Structure 1
């Protein structure tokens, strides 16, 4: 669900009906509304870019109800960030800082502008999420408490991304990982990840995992 993005966007199903719905979705996606926390009701522009739209309010509200106790003070990683809707929502609700990873340069610049508008503590890295996770965790980077992982559909990125998160030392003890994939996919996740909550929305399923 999340912000359907840039060059790293999920492929859409083809066909006249789906195309019409996608076009309608883009017309409605000109603004991102923060729905809770310090920036509640702030509205931010969304770049007019194919496939880019914020995660719907209903999904964000459900997710952050689940994460209400975990978000304050958290270090957040928003992979395949797009509009950064989830990372920005986390910052609004008390996350200490957020790192956004977005492959498209125009989309990343638009996200940087929105972070600056809010005065939030966030940083954007313009690179592919797969390349980012393939690097070693730097000495100046602490593990993350909360990760939003929304890879493009039907590109076999979910399991690889999860494995690299686990093996690369990116996750703090007790971290939460929100993974969103197409509804038909049940990805294998690393050993020790415990399914905490699950939500179905449209053609996608969101699963919230937690480390022991």
Structure 2
């Protein structure tokens, strides 16, 4: 299977439902919202899935893209896709493993754009956002975009973060966080 991203480029995706690619209209919305922030940014893609968001960030000039994904086969596909897209001035890394464990290893780094798209029914939302705040992974002017089902969002307040905007696209919603 394949998916079309910025510049009419094709990337490979895994068949089946294990990795759900972000809908094209949601992907477009995120990059329209962040259009002035992508060039030269440090991008963190959590629950990377198909890697389409990180690939899009690379196409649009992100200087660093790091993805964390648990699924082994997905990591191989993401690595291949990002390798085809990145130019010699861009850095990327695909990290395989448990998101909460791997976020610890990023402590000391900061990211301008963090995209977080876990399985909607997972219990990853609260602990992951708490870990991002705890490890201070968000840069001063950065934002986190959290993709979720619009009617199943029950996040408690996160120390140091506040909601700066919310958008709904059918059965998909985005909640954006920034530093307080």
- d(CA) in 2 for partners of 1:154, 1:82: 15
Q: How many residues align?
A: 176
Greater strand content: 2
Matches within 5 A, 1:51-66: 51-66=18-33
CA drift at 1:168: 1.1
- d(CA) in 1 for partners of 2:137, 2:146: 15
Measured on the aligned residues, the alpha-carbon RMSD in Å equals 1.8
For residues 52-80 of structure 1, give each alpha carbon's deviation from its aligned partner in whole angstroms, at most 9, with x where no partner exists: 24212211111111101111111111010
SS at match of 1:210: strand
Q: Does 1:33 align with 2:1?
A: no
Structure 2: 5+ residue stretches without partners? none
**1:162 is matched with which residue?**
129
**2:95 is matched with which residue?**
125
- Structure 1 runs of 4+ aligned residues shifted over 6 Å read none
- d(CA) in 1 for partners of 2:125, 2:4: 27
Structure 1: 5+ residue stretches without partners? 1-29
- d(CA) in 2 for partners of 1:179, 1:202: 15
CA drift at 1:45: 1.6
**Equivalent of residue 93 in structure 1, options 60, 73, 76:** 60
**2:139 is matched with which residue?**
172
For residues 111-145 of structure 1, give each alpha carbon's deviation from its aligned partner in whole angstroms, at most 9, with x where no partner exists: 10111122353210111212212x25456xx3111
- d(CA) in 2 for partners of 1:75, 1:112: 17
CA drift at 1:188: 2.2
For residues 145-201 of structure 1, give each alpha carbon's deviation from its aligned partner in whole angstroms, at most 9, with x where no partner exists: 110111222222111100000001212112110011222213124244333332223
- When residues 174 and 119 of structure 1 are mapped into structure 2, their CA distance, relative to the original with a 3 A threshold, is closer
TM-score by structure 1 length? 0.76
